[in-house]
Amino acid sequence: MYDQKCPHPMASAGKITRLKALTLAMSLLLLVAPGLTQEIKDIVYAITDSRPLKLDLYLPEKTKNAPIIMHMHGGGWKKGSKTSCTVKFLIEHGYAVASIEYRFSDEAIFPAQIHDCKAAVRFLKSQASKYGYNPKKMAVSGSSAGGQLAALLGSSHGVEPLEGEVGKHLKQNTRVQAVIDFFGCSDFILRGETQPKRANSKTGIVSKYLGGPVNEQPEQAKLASAVTHMDPNDPPYLIFHGKADTSVLPDQSERLHSVCKEHNVESTLVMLDGVGHSSKPFCSPENKKLMVKFLDKHLK
């Protein structure tokens, strides 16, 4: 006979099993309970001839009516992953964040990529009631190639050749309320003049993206340039660029900032000394504060 103060081994095992079950249940609850941070991966937002296009959605602690930021990764329009999301930290500040993928230049040339991005905007707006964020408070961001797409998306609402017909939610509009551009190309014609080896090379990434070098495809180059479509109704821009960037020259962000000012579009240009073509320096605590302040001003 066992002393009542000393539990039977089988009883202890049962308690341990129940404890494990309770722990597992609590863990599952944490994943799905409303009001807690959630990560929803590989949501298909459109299906193209080459493949389904997916996004990852990160929801903040308080999702109801949260503004949402859609991010486009970099990679020269030929590589990259939605797992590279410069602005994911914004969920800590009450923002929903979606990081999307888009077709690469070896799958389809421009404007396929901006068509995909606009399809993602429409999809996210259509799903707002399901996930709880506010579709009327939406910003876009992007780094390098993604920065070019973010800047273009911001200035091209209603430009028919750039809207496309990708996805199922074509009645949704693609207007956004703010843009954060990390060292993207905003003017391909200018790039052809100041960076001819990159822009006018028949084998370079720009040529593969546009379907030909800038000097041979000027109309395509203009269509892909955010500055071409700028007007006073466009959203505010926060633009980051490194002064030592030799991949995308700083004059691209300076040009975008200048054209914004010409059209009375609010623009803030942040130039970092000694910084090249990399996202890491732009994610310093100081720059994160700038992003939060900018987005709070325009989305909250």
**What pLDDT, on the 0 to 100 scale, is given for residue 278?**
84
**What pLDDT, on the 0 to 100 scale, is given for residue 18?**
54
**Contact partners, residue 201, CB within 8 Å, separation at least 6:** 207, 213
Tell me the per-residue pLDDT of 221-266, one tens digit each, with 9 for 90 and over.
999 999 999 999 999 999 999 999 999 999 999 999 999 999 999 9
Give yes or no for residue 10 having a pLDDT over 60: no
**What pLDDT, on the 0 to 100 scale, is given for residue 36?**
55
Q: Which of 125, 124, 231, 240 is nearest to 182 (CA)?
A: 240
Domain extent listing, the chain: 36-187+225-299
Give yes or no for residue 85 having a pLDDT over 90: yes
Give yes or no for residue 6 having a pLDDT over 60: no
Cβ distance 72 to 120 under 8 Å? Answer: no
Cβ distance 133 to 59 under 8 Å? Answer: yes
Cβ distance 221 to 293 under 8 Å? Answer: no
Q: Which of 118, 51, 43, 114 is nearest to 77 (CA)?
A: 114
- Listed in order, strand segments (DSSP E) in 101-188 are 138-143, 178-182
Share of the chain above pLDDT 70, in %: 88
Edge to edge, the sheet with strand 267-272 lists 38-47, 52-59, 96-100, 68-72, 138-143, 178-182, 237-242, 267-272
3 state SS of 212:
coil
What CATH superfamily classification does 36-187+225-299 receive? Alpha/Beta hydrolase fold, catalytic domain (3.40.50.1820)
pTM, to two decimals: 0.87
Distance CA 300, CA 298 (A): 6
